[in-house]
Amino acid sequence: MAAISTSDLRNGITLKIDEGLFTVLEFQHVKPGKGGAFVRTKLRNARTGAVIERTYRGDERLEQAIIDKRDTQYLYRDGDDYIFMDQSNFDQVPVSSKSLGEATNFLVETGKAMLISYDDEIIGVELPASVELTITDTEPGVQGDRVSGARKPATLQTGYVVQVPLFVGPGEAIKVDTRTGEYMTRA
């Protein structure tokens, strides 16, 4: 691991501190009129997503964690594990559903994903901004029920439930935003 100075902090850098792995969301160098400079940071836990705020002295050294990101393709589910194929060497990588978190709602077979690992441990996944999923179950829209902006629940092929407009029916493919989990448009 590389030791970096607080003056080298940038958004997106991952640090290894006593509480675990944290990604820098925001940082601000402060030079008060009296006393030494310091750096205020907002950090997100790489495993849990919890956000904390920390203040460091201006000359303090921190450990930078080297994070590995690799392009993969989701293949299938095997019990509690999700099997991905590394695009560079075609190795199959099993990943637990706990490591993937909410991303399991948007994984479709042959879909692309970026696995994020630290010391051979998968700590997260980055998905494309949107994915196409098929609706397996939803109520049909009622004739005359055309209230502007009305929504109904729809179950997708992954089991995730999303609110869709009344005109969307079962068997249709829709685009879902993976960051918010909301309906975007028909596919």
Determine the pLDDT at residue 144.
Answer: 59
Q: Which CATH architecture has domain 2-64?
A: Roll (2.30)
Determine the pLDDT at residue 186.
Answer: 84
Half-sphere exposure of 173 (CA within 13 A, CB side): 6
Q: pTM value?
A: 0.71
Please say whether the beta carbons of 5 and 59 come within 8 A: yes
Half-sphere exposure of 122 (CA within 13 A, CB side): 23
Query: 103: closest CA among 121, 78, 79, 129?
Result: 129
Q: What is the mean pLDDT of each run of 10 residues along the chain (187 residues)?
A: 81 86 88 88 84 88 88 89 90 85 85 87 85 87 64 88 87 89 85
Extended beta strands in 68-182, E state: 68-78, 81-86, 92-96, 112-118, 121-126, 130-138, 151-156, 161-165, 173-177
Determine the pLDDT at residue 72.
Answer: 92
Query: 46: closest CA among 7, 96, 6, 99?
Result: 99
Note whether 68-126 and 130-186 share their fold: yes
d(CA 111, CA 138): 24
Determine the CATH number of domain 130-186: 2.40.50.140
H-helix or E-strand containing 97? helix 97-100
CATH classification number, 68-126, choose in 2.130.10.10, 2.40.50.140, 3.40.50.2000, 3.30.450.20: 2.40.50.140
Delimit the domains of the chain by residue range: 2-64, 68-126, 130-186
Sign of CA dihedral 10, 16, 22, 28: negative
Determine the pLDDT at residue 53.
Answer: 92
Please say whether the beta carbons of 183 and 157 come within 8 A: no
What phi and psi, each to the nearest 5 degrees, are found at residue 142?
-85, 135
